[in-house]
Amino acid sequence: MVSIEEVTVDVETIEGAIDFAAIFGYERPVEMEIGCGKGTFLLRQARGHPERNYFGIEWANEFFRYSADRMARWGVTNVRMARTDARHLMIHRVPVGSLSALHVYHPDPWPKKRHHKRRLFTPEFVEAAIRALRSGARWAIQTDHAEYFEVIRGLTAGRQELEPVAFDDAEYGAEGERTETNFEVKYVREGRPIHRLAFRRR
């Protein structure tokens, strides 16, 4: 049995850079999901790959509590979750070369122009994410928002550190280009087009 307290991490109580080995209690490859929602993708990957550690970030408190409870009920020991600002965490707290994969599925597009400054994807975030990825790490991005997708593509295009690869990769939870997150299932059902990118860190 796993408790919610074992699953959740208060990163504000940790000084300096995040030490993933200390958080999990052992050294393993770490995959991060930003915006894990109800935890569908995170749970499936954690159960399918017990040899990896998964660090989930969710800002919405309702989803964060739901997802953490879900991990505890399933008894997964290789998941930790934090309720925090993902952009700030990535830029200031995630160590260089510490991630073997980064999953960002359906980040809030903040569609109103006056809210664009709240978006996850900024030049500083992309720079920090690239820095956090170890050599050979995978970065997968998915959104239903066409304008935001163009922004994301513009920020990642031409980066020499990023080699474009196929999004479809069952090893990292994308089979037939479907990740089956709650948002993806909902948007596909509604007939919305889904836009996807995937990279390998050179």
Q: Is 13 exposed, middle or buried (0-12, 13-18, 19+ CB in 10 A)?
A: exposed
Give the tens place of pLDDT for each residue, 6-20.
999 999 999 999 999
Q: What pLDDT sits at residue 133?
A: 98
For the chain, which ranges sit under pLDDT 70?
A: none
Q: What pLDDT sits at residue 180?
A: 79
Domain range for 54 = 4-201
Give the tens place of pLDDT for each residue, 101-118.
999 999 999 999 999 999
> Contact at 8 Å (CB) between 43 and 14?
no
d(CA 199, CA 202): 9
Q: How many domains does the chain have?
A: 1
| Catalytically active residues, by annotation | 108
Backbone angles phi, psi at 87, to 5 degrees: -65, -45
> Contact at 8 Å (CB) between 41 and 79?
no
Which domain CATH number covers 132? 3.40.50.150
3-class SS of residue 33 = strand
